[in-house]
Amino acid sequence: MDRSTLQGVLLSFLAFAAYAVSDASVKLLHGSLSAYEAVFFGALSGVVALPWLKARGEGYGAIFRPRRRGMWLLRAVAALCGSVGSVTAFTHLSMAEAFCLIFLMPSFVTLLSVLFLKEPVGWRRWLAVILGFVGVLVVLRPGFRELNIGHLGAVAGGLSGAVTVVMMRAYGHLESRLSLYGAGLVGPVLVAGLLMLPDFVWPTPLQWVWLMGYGLLMALANVLVMLASQRAPASLVAPAQYSQMLWAIAFGYLVFGDALEPVMALGVAIIILSGILTFLREKVRQPKGWARAPAVHPQ
C-alpha cells in the first residue's frame, strides 16, 4: 500500500468517526427540538463544505443547474427523508440499534439495483440480503419487544441512502459533485424549514452546540470522504463505514448508558456480515457506476 492510498484509508476512518460524533450530537438533543428543526439547521450548516466540493472554475450556481432535473429532485427528496429518518432513529433508539437498521442499506441497494438497474444478482448477494433481514429480526425480536417510530426512521434512513447510491450509479457520472451535494442540502433546508415552523423553538446555547456539532461534523465528514476517495479506491474507503458501529457502541455505553445486549450484538454481527458480503461481491463484479457511488451516509 503506497503512501497516498494509506492516507486515503486513514481519512476514510476519520470521516466515519466524524459521522458518528455528528450522530451522537443530534442524540444529545434528546428530542428537545423537533426532528425537522434539527435537520434544517444541520443542512444549513452543511454549506460550509461547498468550497471544497466545487471544481476549479465552477460557480455555485451549478447547484441549481443539473443536467437531469428529475435525478436532482430525487436526490433532494432522498436526503430529506434520510435526514429526518436518521434524526428520529437516534432520538428514540440506542446508537447501536439505530446503526444496525441503517446498515440495511447494502441490502436495499441490491434490491433496488435489481428493480431499477436490472443488474443480475447471483446467489451470494441474495444470501447477503437474506442475512441482513435475518439480522434485523434478531435485533427487533417482533412480538417480544415494543417497536417505535425510531425503528421506522432508521429503516427509512437506510432506504433513502440506498436510493442515493442507486441513483448515483445510474446517473452520477452526468452531474457535478457540487450539484449532487447541493441537492442534498436544498431538500432538507427548504422542506424541513417549512415543516419546523409550527413547533419552532429558538435553541438554547447548549442546543446550539449540539446542532452545530451535528451539522458541521457532517459537512467535515463529507469533505473527508471526498478526499479519501481521491487517494484510495472505493474498495478501501467503503469498508471503513462499519467502524461507526464501534463508535456507536462506545458512545452508547460511555455517554448514554446503553448496554449492548447479547442478542442485539448477535443481530449487529449478522447485519455487518451481510453488508461486507454484499460489498465483496460488488468489488468482484464492479456493477454499473460503482466507482461513482462510494459509501453514502443517509443524511
Q: Give the pLDDT score at 294.
A: 45
CA distance 294 to 277: 16
Secondary structure class of 33 (helix, strand, coil): coil
Is the model's pLDDT at 104 over the cut of 70? yes
State pLDDT tens for residues 261-276. 888 889 888 988 888 8
pTM score over 0.85: yes
φ/ψ of 145, rounded to 5, equals -150, 160
What is the mean predicted confidence (pLDDT) over 47-72? 89
- 240 Cβ contact partners less than 8 Å away, ≥ 6 residues apart: 9, 12, 13, 15, 16, 228, 295
What is the mean predicted confidence (pLDDT) over 289-294? 44
Q: Give the pLDDT score at 284.
A: 53
Is the model's pLDDT at 282 over the cut of 70? no
Residue 283's pLDDT band (cuts 50, 70, 90)? low
The answer to whether the beta carbons of residues 85 and 153 sit under 8 Å apart is yes
146 against 75, higher pLDDT:
75
The answer to whether the beta carbons of residues 295 and 240 sit under 8 Å apart is yes
Q: Exposed (0-12), middle (13-18) or buried (19+): which is 288, by Cβ within 10 Å?
A: middle
State pLDDT tens for residues 10-41. 999 999 999 999 999 999 999 999 999 999 99
C-alpha 179 chain-centroid distance? 18
